[in-house]
Amino acid sequence: MTTAIATPTTTYSIDKAHSELTFQVRHLLTKVRGRFSDFSGTLEYDEETPEHSLVNVEVQAASIDTNERDRDAHLRSADFFEVEKIPTLSFRSTRIQRTAGDRFAVTGDLTIHGVTRSVTFDASLLGTAKDPWGNERIAFEAETTINRKDFGLTWNAALETGGFLVGDEVAIAVSVQAIPARA
């Protein structure tokens, strides 16, 4: 007879007030940085076997903020995110692999502009702690680089001197604090 031993899995909810989803992309000669301010998600964290954990995140595309009102309006338009028709971006993990210590390769389905592609984030478990009010917290950071054209974000403008206005590579960085989900 084999006895199954349950491992301690905790479901955490992202604490939006202490988390951020940012990106940067080349614009002409420099890089423009931006963020999404409206997102939610859960992490089912298996403490003994982190590779069995799951990540789900949903982002409201209209919450994009590059600190420039006209650019943000253009990014929300049909030229880019088309937020009226496709209001959300999402990520759902499909595989988590330890690469070293508290570092992981988190692979999953990233959906942007209605197009889903498999991407891998380099992630780090920053640790767990109790805040001054006794609430348990867990924190992660993760980053990846994608090609925006792979997700149907193809708008661009040719430059008089050659090349294009907007770069294809987009660096994505995630910094998350999460708290145990309420039943």
Average pLDDT, the chain: 90
Residue 71 has pLDDT above 70, yes or no: yes
149 located within any domain: yes
147 located within any domain: yes
Q: What is d(CA 178, CA 99) in angstroms, rounded to the nearest whole number?
A: 22
* Local confidence band at 153 (pLDDT 50, 70, 90 cut-offs): confident
85 located within any domain: yes
Which residue segment(s) compose the domain that 88 sits in?
9-180
Tokens of 40: 């939610």
4 located within any domain: no
Which CATH number covers residue 27? 2.40.128.110
Detail the DSSP E strand segments found in the chain: 9-14, 20-27, 30-36, 39-46, 54-60, 64-65, 88-100, 103-112, 115-130, 136-147, 166-180
Q: What is d(CA 108, CA 94) in angstroms, rounded to the nearest whole number?
A: 5
Query: Looking at the DSSP assignment, which residues form a beta bridge with residue 109?
Result: 92, 118
How do residues 34-50 score in pLDDT, each as one tens digit?
A: 999 999 999 999 988 99
Residue 4 has pLDDT above 80, yes or no: no
The number of C-alpha atoms within 13 Å of 168 and in the hemisphere containing its C-beta is 7
Residue 23 has pLDDT above 60, yes or no: yes
3 located within any domain: no
Tell me how crowded residue 14 is: count the other CB atoms within 10 A of its CB: 24
46 located within any domain: yes
Tell me the backbone φ, ψ of residue 81, rounded to 5 degrees: -80, -20
1 located within any domain: no
* pLDDT, position 85: 96
pTM for the structure as a whole: 0.89
Q: How many independent structural domains does the chain possess? A: 1
